[in-house]
Amino acid sequence: MFKITVIPKFGDIDGLKHVTNTILASWFESGRNDIFRFFTPDLDLSHENWKLIMARTDYDFLKQMYYGYDVEIRTYILKIGNSSFTVYHEAWQQGELKVKGTAVCVHFDFIEQKSKPIPEDIRKKLEEHLYSHNP
């Protein structure tokens, strides 16, 4: 599991004084940075070096989050396929699970415009972060 702490900014709040639902995409993406480094250690975004493409994301908003309280983003690997893997995220605030979601990432060659099998050394790194419960 990977953990980061996010401090909600004033601009992350909606008209109902909640953390806006659209900000979770950015926070969960930040939670994937360590996973991105498995594939591209220096995070070089050139087509020759970047090796992942997003195929799908979803979110379940369980409880409201508020300004003034840090949010802990927990990131796990849920499933590993041949060329893709599913990331599972949780957002916790004040000791409660507030949002959960998944993202499907594909190991992708931007030059050839096709998916590639996940290399064995990276697969092993991903396996170290497998989520052991049913989300």
Give me the tens of pLDDT residue by residue for the chain, a chain 135 residues long: 999 999 999 999 988 889 999 999 999 999 999 999 999 999 999 888 999 999 999 999 999 999 999 999 999 999 999 999 999 999 999 999 999 999 999 999 999 999 999 999 999 999 999 998 766
All domains of the chain in start order, with CATH = 2-127 (3.10.129.10)
Query: Taking the C-alpha atoms of 27, 31, 34 and 36 in order, what is their torsion angle to the nearest 10 degrees?
Result: -60
Is this structure's pTM higher than 0.75? Answer: yes
Q: What is the 3-state secondary structure (H, E, C) of 76-101?
A: EEEEECCCEEEEEEEEEECCEEEEEE
